[in-house]
Amino acid sequence: MSLLSIGILLGSLPVGSSQFPRACANSDSLLRKECCPPWPGDGSPCGELSGRGSCKDIILSDAPLGPQFPFSGVDDREDWPVVFYNRTCQCSGNFMGFNCGGCKFNFVGPNCTEKRLQVRRDIFRLSAREKYQFLAYLNLAKHTTSRDFVIATGTYAQMNNGSNPMFQSINMYDLFVWMHYYVSRDTLLGGTDVWRDIDFAHEAPGFLPWHRVFLLMWEHEIQKITGNENFTIPYWDWRDAQDCDICTDEYMGGRHPSNPNLLSPASFFASWQVICSKSEEYNSRQELCNGTSEGPILRNPGNHDKGRTPRLPSSADVEFCLSLTQYEAGTMDKMANFSFRNTLEGFANPSTAISNLSQSSLHNALHIYMNGSMSQVQGSANDPIFILHHAFVDSIFEQWLRRHQPLREVYPAANAPIGHNREYYMVPFIPLYRNGEFFVPSRELGYDYEYLINPGNYIYDFSTLSFPGVSS
Ligand SMILES: *[C@@H]1O[C@H](CO)[C@@H](O)[C@H](O)[C@H]1NC(C)=O
Ligand SMILES: *[C@@H]1O[C@H](CO)[C@@H](O)[C@H](O)[C@H]1NC(C)=O
Ligand SMILES: *[C@@H]1O[C@H](CO)[C@@H](O)[C@H](O)[C@H]1NC(C)=O
Ligand SMILES: *[C@@H]1O[C@H](CO)[C@@H](O)[C@H](O)[C@H]1NC(C)=O
Ligand SMILES: *[C@@H]1O[C@H](CO)[C@@H](O)[C@H](O)[C@H]1NC(C)=O
Ligand SMILES: *[C@@H]1O[C@H](CO)[C@@H](O)[C@H](O)[C@H]1NC(C)=O
Ligand SMILES: *[C@@H]1O[C@H](CO)[C@@H](O)[C@H](O)[C@H]1NC(C)=O
Ligand SMILES: *[C@@H]1O[C@H](CO)[C@@H](O)[C@H](O)[C@H]1NC(C)=O
């Protein structure tokens, strides 16, 4: 195979998008502040010669931020991504990716001209073969070095403003664990000082769009490494669950017979190591999580504080939450009352929508209930239950969008906590995505949920992906 044809082959894969593109993780890119890698298909930056995109200055929104973060110029994530790069690829048409080598989420094909719709399914409705394939794919991701992306192991200042790059390769699963850590980590203020009341993906309106694009990218990276373009992540419908019914060795892992905090030795995930679980250690060293293994996945479902989370969420909780008409409200943080986002996230009472920080409900309830790796925000994606859980949370977001049909303007444009305004670029993704771009029905992003397609009737031919009578 010639180099050119390899390039075309690689360039035509669906390119997901995430942390630092390997091609930009060097001092030349950092000092020029430019991340516009060549598209291998034609060798030009951003595939410009083929009309895929071009290298452009990043224009930031100047909408005011909320008062929650009283600093500026102290955190690399402020005004993402301009601390690192002020020029990136801007792709045209249906092209997407850090070098415009891929397609938008709802298109496939060498020129991104074929529309597609994929369906995420209930994990309990997968065949034995499909379920085994899902678990095997996760294991493959955990053992496959990410080709396109690396993690930063130092802050911009620790990199001497770019002249001393600090990046490291990481496996594809852990790349996503690290991104979830990086977006939610504390601000390092120097000495031993940190600022904890900051989170670019939680406790504010961006919670739902951020996790939506995060899962889409994760799904697409798995499609890439497995060569299965039809793979979709399953969801766990936890409404009215009495216990963790996916916590068996057949699914996400049973309990260890002698240590209730560990997974059963027969589980798919018993040998997995976690990363980014020691936030206090990183804070005291004023360093970033560098991806070092830190021990096994911890999980002890049901051993949590019952005063905080008396039970798993009910159908009635979800239904109440869906009836809330305001997406966001008031302070737009975890104190917000009558906010759909804050109620679904779980900081507000699921029958009154009044904020109550001594309770963890809906989304938060599942994290607390797992009483282990899932329960610390920064390291929660270490447990693959995270994927199933967040897919279901996203489906509730999707139900709300369908029921209330909000204009994009309903998503707050200004005064949200840092990172969460409508036009803010979401940390830590390159290429760039704005929060508001994911405040749209999932079909516009190329996917749907099995149980939302035609409630009450699950008989579909998933091999054809055609759903008569459903308009898109
Ligand atoms: C981008 O950064 C480079 C390097 O610091 C600088 O020379 C250039 O003026 C900046 N461009 C913009 C549009 O801010
Ligand atoms: C894709 O677009 C290029 C450039 O326009 C064209 O030469 C090529 O034939 C197209 N390929 C397909 C499969 O449509
Ligand atoms: C890095 O940039 C900051 C802000 O421009 C500047 O204050 C600092 O002196 C620079 N540090 C180094 C090591 O160049
Ligand atoms: C990574 O961080 C750990 C502490 O979390 C430290 O012991 C180790 O030396 C670091 N490794 C590198 C390569 O910096
Ligand atoms: C597990 O729950 C107990 C309370 O029952 C709590 O003290 C502990 O911090 C929890 N552990 C984790 C990792 O969440
Ligand atoms: C939310 O409602 C409670 C109860 O009415 C009230 O005490 C609290 O101040 C409200 N919070 C905000 C941010 O408005
Ligand atoms: C918050 O929840 C606790 C129970 O954990 C309850 O005692 C308290 O009354 C609630 N506060 C409000 C304002 O509803
Ligand atoms: C994906 O699904 C399409 C449509 O059913 C089918 O034509 C294609 O062969 C499938 N691809 C794989 C890799 O299974």
**Greater confidence, 393 or 458?**
393
Digit-coded pLDDT (tens) for 43-69: 999 999 999 999 999 999 999 999 999
What is the rounded distance in angstroms from the CA atom of residue 26 to the CA atom of residue 158?
Answer: 14
Judge whether residue 115 has pLDDT over 70: yes
CA distances from 36 to 87, 174, 184, 195, 387 (A): 7, 25, 27, 33, 31
pLDDT at 334: 98
Q: Where are the alpha helices (DSSP H) in 306-424?
A: 315-323, 340-345, 362-370, 385-404
CA of 262 to the centre of ligand 5 (A): 14
User: What is the pairing mode between strands 118-120 and 447-449?
Assistant: parallel
Nearest C-alpha to atom 2 of ligand 8 is from which residue? 230
Any idea which of 87-91, 182-186, 391-395, 453-457 has the lowest mean pLDDT? 453-457
- Ligand 3 test: best mutation among 78, 84, 161, 164, most atoms within 8 Å of CB? 161
Rounded mean pLDDT, 162-174:
97
pLDDT at 18: 57
CA distances from 367 to 132, 200, 355 (A): 24, 18, 18
Which of 3-12, 193-202, 453-462 has the largest mean confidence?
193-202
Judge whether residue 456 has pLDDT over 90: no
- Band of pLDDT at residue 1, cut at 50, 70 and 90: very low
- Pocket lining for ligand 6, CB < 6 angstroms: 330-331, 335, 337, 354-355
Which residue do the tokens 């390899």 mark? Answer: 6
Q: What is the dihedral of CA 148, 167, 428, 77, to 10 degrees?
A: -160
- Pocket lining for ligand 5, CB < 6 angstroms: 303-305, 371-372, 375
What is the rounded distance in angstroms from the CA atom of residue 383 to the CA atom of residue 371?
Answer: 11
- Band of pLDDT at residue 471, cut at 50, 70 and 90: very low
**If you compute the radius of gyration of the chain from its CA atoms, what whole number of angstroms results?**
21
Among the bound ligands, the one closest to the CA of 349: 7
Q: Kindly state if the Cβ of 211 falls inside 6 Å of ligand 1.
A: no
- Tokens for 92? 């045209």
CA distances from 155 to 21, 75, 84, 165, 467 (A): 16, 9, 10, 9, 48
- Tokens for 247? 């916590």
Q: Where are the alpha helices (DSSP H) in 227-361?
A: 279-285, 315-323, 340-345
Any idea which of 124-128, 175-179, 190-194, 238-242 has the lowest mean pLDDT? 190-194
Task: Give the number of other CB atoms < 10 A from CB of residue 463.
Answer: 7
Closest residue by Cα to residue 173 from 5, 387, 7? 387
Judge whether residue 469 has pLDDT over 60: no
Closest residue by Cα to residue 27 from 153, 161, 155? 161
User: What is the pairing mode between strands 447-449 and 107-108?
Assistant: unpaired
Torsions phi, psi for 54 (to 5 deg): -155, 165
Rounded mean pLDDT, 372-398:
98
Torsions phi, psi for 184 (to 5 deg): -110, 0
Judge whether residue 437 has pLDDT over 50: yes
The rounded mean pLDDT for the chain is 93
Rounded mean pLDDT, 253-281:
98
Q: Please, are residues 419 and 79 in contact by the beta-carbon 8 Å criterion?
A: no
What is the rounded distance in angstroms from the CA atom of residue 117 to the CA atom of residue 380?
Answer: 29
Which atom number of ligand 5 is nearest to the Cα of residue 368? 14
Rounded mean pLDDT, 352-358:
98
Q: Kindly state if the Cβ of 292 falls inside 6 Å of ligand 4.
A: yes
Task: Give the number of other CB atoms < 10 A from CB of residue 441.
Answer: 12
Digit-coded pLDDT (tens) for 406-415: 999 999 999 9
Judge whether residue 113 has pLDDT over 70: yes
What is the rounded distance in angstroms from the CA atom of residue 390 to the CA atom of residue 222?
Answer: 16
Q: Please, are residues 284 and 362 in contact by the beta-carbon 8 Å criterion?
A: no
- Pocket lining for ligand 3, CB < 6 angstroms: 160-161
Judge whether residue 80 has pLDDT over 80: yes
Strands in 52-181 per DSSP E: 53-57, 87-91, 95-96, 102-103, 107-108, 114-115, 118-120, 149-152, 167-168
Which atom number of ligand 7 is nearest to the Cα of residue 307? 5
pLDDT at 7: 32
What is the dihedral sign for C-alpha 366, 367, 369, 370?
Answer: positive
Which atom number of ligand 6 is nearest to the Cα of residue 336? 13
Q: Where are the alpha helices (DSSP H) in 61-157?
A: 128-142
Judge whether residue 244 has pLDDT over 50: yes
What is the rounded distance in angstroms from the CA atom of residue 338 to the CA atom of residue 330?
Answer: 8
pLDDT at 3: 33
Torsions phi, psi for 296 (to 5 deg): -75, 165
- Band of pLDDT at residue 455, cut at 50, 70 and 90: low
pLDDT at 19: 77
